[in-house]
Structure 1
Amino acid sequence: MLPAHDDISERRQALEAVALAAAGGLLGALVWRLWGSELQAPPLAVLAVAAGGAFAADFVSGIVHWIADTWGHETMPVFGRRFLRPFRVHHVNPDDFLRRRFLDVNGDVAMLTAPILALAHCLPMRGATGQLLAAGVAGFCATILPTNQVHQWAHQSAPPRWVARLQRLGLILSRPAHLRHHRAPHAANYCIATGWCNPFLERIQFFRRLERAVTRWTGLQPRSDDESFRQVFEPSALLNPPDRPDADGNA
């Protein structure tokens, strides 16, 4: 059968629920503080920095996605099962992602985002520097927090109407844009928050150049376990599973 994402325990669900509530509350409070402060920086500068934070979040989503898709093995301690395996499973069985619950989809990102937002509340709001930094963090976190949810919507053939409108406006990742990533060898359009960075990064071959640099420096080969994963889990392999050796080593 096709692989599936691992189910999460009730304890982890509770932790992720707390993280989501904390991240959402901290983000709302940061925006409220910024909105209620007497702006020392030009409003257009605040908006520009917030937009820059959103672009940065999209770029970071691409870097993380590229690392998880390209390097390492799911047998690696700690990171393999929790971080790498879901990405490898997703390429072979994209529909499994559509069955994931809200907490499972969004909890991990919330646990990483909440501490950033907590630190952002230490920024002073009385000067232009603090306000601009707060705007950048708010733009970054408002974009990175729902990244996996946006990713899930990009796989839905009929997302909610308001989501489809945001996709058509180019404010979040669209289904056609993301489907380009799901063509083997899954080596394009890595950015999955808004997708804004993808055209430029593809034009300059950013990730391919980065892969060549990593291989040159380390000797590691990108996507080295893709073929073995594909042989076991692609539909044709499921219909005709590869022979497994018996106890004497005979296939």
Structure 2
Amino acid sequence: MCARYYSLLWLTTLLLWAALWWQAIPLPAWWPLILLAGWATADAGSYVFHVILDHHIGAERSAMARGFQEHHADRLKITRESLSQVLAPVMPLLLPAWLLLSAPAALGWIAPGWALYLCAVALGVGFGQVIHRWSHLPDPGPVVIALQRMGLVVSARAHDAHHRPPHGSAYAIVSGWSNPLFDAVALDRRLSAVLARLGYPRVA
């Protein structure tokens, strides 16, 4: 129930935010590129976060990490969860950040370009698991399929590489844009080495 309220509150503030932009905040000239930059940032962040959850947090310590690690064995588990269940893990973190962003932007304390960029990042973070879920559905619907074909959200084909043992590539779950670059430079192994030096060795 708490997850449902968090999700409804976030979606409500999202609609209010859209209305605010439409009525009061001027869109920057390069707003499409700003949105894409924020979306790409969220995708890159999902890669890093996914590596940490998959390999550096024990399942007994974190329900979110347990969910990601169990997902490797049961890749359709996410498709059996409700929307509120999928959104629940990130809502307690995202909702306060979203509200803290909305007020300064509405008051003009954040430049419109930066506000729009942060808005796109928040959208990618907030809907990352929903997009991840779409990539596992056999038929996510024509609109989602169109978005996948345009490369705006990660497709089943692009995400499938992550589910081939040892699950060491294609960690990004928003658009998948960062996967080729980060896989090419072995970012997962480099990040794991840094985390191990900081006292967080691989546990999975």
TM-score, normalised relative to structure 1 = 0.74
The answer to whether the 8 Å contact 2:28/2:112 transfers is: no
Supply the distance in 2 between the matched residues of 1:220 and 1:109 (Cα, whole angstroms). 22
Q: Answer whether contact 1:125 1:131 (CA < 8 A) is retained.
A: no
Q: Tell me, which stretches of 5 or more residues in structure 1 are unaligned? A: 1-13, 226-251
Aligned residues: 204
Say which one has the larger Rg: 1
- The answer to whether 1:17 aligns with 2:11 is no
User: CA distance change for structure 1 residues 68 and 124 in 2, over 3 Å: closer, same or farther?
Assistant: closer
- Of 20, 24, 29, the residue aligned with 1:43 is 29
| Cα separation, 2, equivalents of 1:22 and 1:106 | 12
For structure 2, the residue ranges without an aligned partner over 5 or more in a row are none
SS of the equivalent of 1:116 reads helix
Q: 1:59 aligns with which of 23, 44, 50?
A: 44
Deviations 1:155-208 (A, max 9, x none): 122221211111111110100110000011111111101111111111222222
Q: 1:118 to 1:177 in 2, by over 3 A?
A: same
The answer (yes or no) to whether the contact 1:49–1:132 under 8 Å persists in 2 is yes
Tell me which of 110, 114, 118 is aligned to 1:133: 114
**1:133 Cα deviation (Å)?**
2.4
Contact 1:106-1:146 at 8 Å conserved across structures = yes
Give, in whole Å, the separation in 2 of the partners of 1:43 and 1:208.
Answer: 39
Looking at structure 2, the residues matched to 60 and 218 of structure 1 have their Cα atoms a distance apart, in angstroms, of 19
* More moved, 146-155 vs 199-208: 199-208
TM-score (normalizing by structure 2):
0.89
Distance in 1 (CA, whole Å) between partners of 2:109 and 2:36 is 17
Higher helix share: 2
Cα deviation per residue 1:216-235 (whole Å; 9 max; x = unaligned)? Answer: x257643x44xxxxxxxxxx
Larger relative CO (CA 8 A, sep 6+): 1 or 2? 2
2:75 paired residue number: 94
Name the Cα RMSD after superposition: 2.1
Rate the CA distance shift 1:129–1:120 in 2: closer, same or farther, 3 A.
closer
